[in-house]
Chains A and B, each alone.
Chain A
Amino acid sequence: MDLEQYYDDIYRYCYLRLNDRHAAEDMAQETFLRFLEASEYRDMGKPLAFLYTIARNLCIDYMRRYSNRPDRVSYAEDPEIFPAPSCEGALTDSLALAQALRQLDDADREIVCLRYINEVPVSDIGKIMNLSRFAVRRRLNRSLKLLSGYIKKEDF
């Protein structure tokens, strides 16, 4: 099984959650090692959703462990929260989108990032987030509508 092709996706996802390159590399590597150790997975040629689920849980554990340590990047109080992008240094046209993303709740933000940054199929997003495909599609449409509405408003 060729797992190397999924490394970048998992690393990108971990980075989105942790916003720390070294921590993201560590979590991505740990994800792959845990995947190999998992006895409950049987290869049916689609390991991506399972990899994301491991990565998500590892990131949440990591944030829980390190949220109170002063020498680390400070994380949000609730590790389940999917962080919003920073508006610092964003170009004018990107700034509206960054602000619009801040208006979404963390689950919707996570769905948007999984779908549009990592190009994860809707069915896999459902498996990762424990939602039905219809719920994912509904949330995605609602988020896109909200994002476009907010950006248009900011343009004025």
Chain B
Amino acid sequence: MKKNDLHLQEELLRIYRIPPSREKTAFFRSRRWRSAYEKAFLSPEAAPGISFPEFLRIQAGYIRLRNWFFSLGLFLAVLLFSAENIRAAGIDSRQFLGALSACIPYLALTTIAEGSRSARFGMDELEMHTRFSIHSVICARLFLAGALNLIVLTALIPFLCTAWGTGPAVTSGILLAPYLLTCTLDLMILRRSRNRNSITLCAAAGTGVSAGCLVLSAAGPAVYGVLSHAALPAVFLLGAAAALELRKYLRQSEESIWNYTSTV
């Protein structure tokens, strides 16, 4: 607290003249408190408390292994194809980055698919009555899968810059723009159609973005010139759009909880 705030605090305490509590110790030693505490925390039927890191750890266990493997596989593949002897075999940096950017939308698709599993399998009503709300479960899973992808992509940017000699702006654009665009489109689709078929539409959107990346990379070196100027603004814009869509998606899940509980 600042000096002025401390002075105000002292003055307020003087004005309100609050006497100290006299029953605190007696209350926390009383039988009434102890029995309530034991019933809440120590009895077998009491749900044990859980910390936030512990909650994330539990949710990480429910993310399918193929998601982790896909992210790490992509990372290792980039390392492998960036080896000097493979580069010397004649792979063009434009071709390589084009192929890589075409894979990125599927990375986004695996993350988004993880957040919509409950809706796809028709389990969302059941999960609304479980220990953790579906809202916090979705948040935790999207956070974990998204954090891993972010780490992978962030680690790849400086590596690709040095290995393939592309500028940081172009590399960031190639890696992040398809990822964020797919996230935005997939979340938009999931928000509008909450059923089993929604993931097919998401996959179609991801494939569309992937195809777009391949077309752009095949278009010629001029595209990279344009990309170097437009990459960072595009990444920021797409990032904002993805964040907005995520917010709407999570809000909608809150609303569906509210709608459901109000009808019980």
Contact = CB atoms under 8 A, between A and B. Distances in A.
B52 interface: yes
Contacts of B31: none
B65 interface: no
Nearest to B48: A43
B61 interface: no
Contacts of A90: 14-15
B47 to A, nearest CB: 7
A85 interface: yes
Interface of B: 1, 5, 8-9, 11-16, 18-19, 21-24, 27-28, 32-33, 36-37, 39-41, 47, 49-52, 131-132
A21 B24 contact: no
A16 interface: yes
Contacts, number: 82
Contacts of B28: 4, 7
10 contacts: A7-B27, A11-B21, A11-B24, A12-B18, A29-B23, A36-B37, A37-B36, A112-B12, A113-B12, A116-B12
Given A25-B21, A116-B5, A36 B12 contact: no
A147 B11 CA distance: 12
Contacts of B1: 119
Given A7-B21, A117-B18, 17 more contacts: A1-B49, A4-B28, A7-B27, A7-B28, A11-B21, A25-B22, A25-B27, A32-B27, A36-B40, A42-B50, A43-B50, A44-B52, A45-B51, A94-B15, A97-B12, A112-B12, A147-B8
A101 B15 contact: yes
A16 B19 CA distance: 11
A90 B12 CA distance: 11
Given A16-B18, A97-B15, A36 B39 contact: yes
